[in-house]
Amino acid sequence: MKLLDLEIFVIGTPPPGWGGRYWIMVKLTTACGVSGYGEVYAASVGPAAMRAVIEDVFARHMQGESPENVELMFRRAYSAGFTQRPDLTVMGAFSGLEIACWDILGKARDRPVWALLGGRMNERIRAYTYLYPLPGHDKKEFWASPEMNAEAALDAVARGFTAIKLDPAGPYTIRGGHQPALWDIDLSLRMLAAIRKAVGNRADILFGTHGQFTPAGAIRLGAAIEPFQPLWYEEPIPPDNLLDFAQVAQAVRIPVATGERMTTKAEFGTLLRAGGASILQPATGRSGGLWETKKIAALAEAFGAQVAPHLYAGPVEWAANIHLAVTLPNLLMVESIQEGGEFHLPLIGHAIRVEEGHICPPEAPGLGIVFDEALARAHPYDGTALHLQMQEAPLGHDGINNFAGGAPRD
């Protein structure tokens, strides 16, 4: 079995765009006609440039190789051009291609991918979701409304979720870390108070940020929200200095979670050695693929850390995250977009979904999905924007710095 052909789908997401402005899916086909699908999470270059990177990584390191040789292909891509260090763009491209290899291997052996990665450890996988506006909610006012968020939290709990996430402390910007504005601290406290009052002990609250703060600013905000007992404090500082996470983790009595913007065991290993996080959030479409992320999870286990695979992408990465999660003894939970996402689910033939806040391991071969190529082609993205855009304007201190949940509408 040899890898022969590559096809790339750049899929524009319909409004409201949960999961990003577009998704990059790849299809690999072997010389004997077995196909597999993968997903490249995000990109720091535009879709045309990312397409070229994916094509180059495939042609240079994978074409003509057996899909079984994921370790060899990883080492080629990781070392290419005298690098041998984490590279988000190259490893993002490789990650999606590597996931497709596992889909091929599972189909060729008539086994689900989780069975090839160590087998079933978890019979049911706990899922969590962000809070999103309900029908009837004002979609602009929702993000700064404790009352609407409490209603959304109650709805999520009624649907079986035992963990819900929000990020009311302002948007991400290109300006690096900053001190939280008093307005943003106040809104965070009012949000947490309303949600905790609404759901009581029925759900963990996951407090998200997007690397907005300096270590001192993150400690200041973390101390303020401690009384509401969030299960985690997500990405409180930018990921460009992994050692700084330890300052926050040692000062705040909330578990620090991070990893969405990190790649390979090199970065996660540095974070763990520094004591910077007790919950890792790798995104398999960026972190190096399934085999590399399995290694990251093993490192976490040795350091007493848990794993909660991250998802702000499409359903192929979601499927990969789930297969990994089935195998992990130190799994905490996986991220989902509601019960799977209104556009996510039809793209994979409704093959996987969240029921009562949990996901059962897929039993079909490979990733267990039925990728709808016709639907993918019917929603092409031909723009030049990035998957997510960073705000350039500085944050104000004269009012709430509203963050609209990452919805990427132009």
Residues whose CB falls within 8 Å of the CB of residue 227, separated by 6 or more in sequence, listed in order: none
Q: Is residue 80 part of a domain?
A: no
Q: Is residue 44 part of a domain?
A: no
Cis ω for the linkage preceding 227 (within 30 of 0)? no
Spatial separation of the C-alpha atoms in residues 278 and 256, rounded to whole Å: 6
Q: How far is CA 328 from CA 68, 148, 163, 264, 309, in A?
A: 21, 35, 19, 17, 11
Question: For each successive 10 residues of the chain (410 residues), what is the average pLDDT?
Answer: 98 92 97 98 91 98 98 98 95 98 98 98 97 94 96 98 95 87 95 98 96 96 98 97 97 98 98 98 98 98 98 97 98 96 96 96 97 98 89 80 61
Closest by CA to 56, choosing from 18, 13, 26, 15, is: 26
Query: Can you tell me which residue has the tokens 């404790």?
Result: 146
Spatial separation of the C-alpha atoms in residues 261 and 258, rounded to whole Å: 8
Q: Is residue 291 part of a domain?
A: yes
* Partner residues linked to 125 by β-bridges: 359
Contact 91, 284 (CB under 8 A): no
Spatial separation of the C-alpha atoms in residues 250 and 237, rounded to whole Å: 14
Please report the pLDDT score of residue 403 as a whole number.
75
Spatial separation of the C-alpha atoms in residues 117 and 260, rounded to whole Å: 22
Please report the pLDDT score of residue 394 as a whole number.
82
Q: Is residue 154 part of a domain?
A: yes
CATH of the domain at 272: 3.20.20.120
Q: What are phi and psi of 207, to 5 degrees?
A: -95, 110
Q: Which range marks the domain in which residue 194 is found?
A: 116-366
Specify the number of domains making up the chain: 1
Q: Would you state the structure tokens that stand for residue 398, as one six-digit string?
A: 């004269």
Spatial separation of the C-alpha atoms in residues 59 and 67, rounded to whole Å: 14
Instruction: Say if pTM beats, i.e. exceeds, 0.95.
Output: yes
Please report the pLDDT score of residue 402 as a whole number.
73
Q: Is residue 238 part of a domain?
A: yes
Spatial separation of the C-alpha atoms in residues 46 and 21, rounded to whole Å: 12
Laid out side by side, the sheet with 3-12 consists of 3-12, 22-30, 35-40
Q: Is residue 195 part of a domain?
A: yes
Q: Is residue 204 part of a domain?
A: yes
Q: Is residue 323 part of a domain?
A: yes
DSSP 194-247: HHHHHHTTSSEEEEE--S-B-HHHHHHHHHHHGGG--SEEE--S-TT-GGGHHH
Please report the pLDDT score of residue 407 as a whole number.
55
